[in-house]
Amino acid sequence: MANLATKMTATGQTFKIHTPLIQLTKAQIIRRGVELGVDYSLTHSCYDPDEKRRACGRCDSCILRKRGFAEAGVPDPTVYQTS
């Protein structure tokens, strides 16, 4: 759609979207992040964090994140409002 609906494409340029992680499971992504030294305590995936920036622990994104860390065998450093 971006290649059809942007001013840039009128000049013959096109967009190319790279998605290197799309074929990986959440667990595989987390393991790869650990290999690369990602500090997961600086991240969260929550759609609705509270005013203290704690993840809700209930939304789809939180549930997928928790499952990914569990399947990867990596402790999840996320601070959740609920378990």
Say if residue 7's pLDDT is above 90.
Answer: no
Say if residue 54's pLDDT is above 90.
Answer: yes
C-alpha dist (Å) from residue 62 to 11, 29, 80, 83: 42, 15, 9, 10
Q: Which of 12-16, 19-23, 62-66, 68-72 has the lowest mean pLDDT?
A: 12-16
Percent of the chain with pLDDT over 70: 93
22: closest CA among 9, 32, 13, 11? Answer: 32
* Cα separation, 61 vs 55, whole angstroms: 10
Is residue 72 very low, low, confident or very high in pLDDT (cuts 50, 70, 90)?
very high
In sequence order, the β-bridge partners of residue 55 are 80
* Cα separation, 73 vs 24, whole angstroms: 16
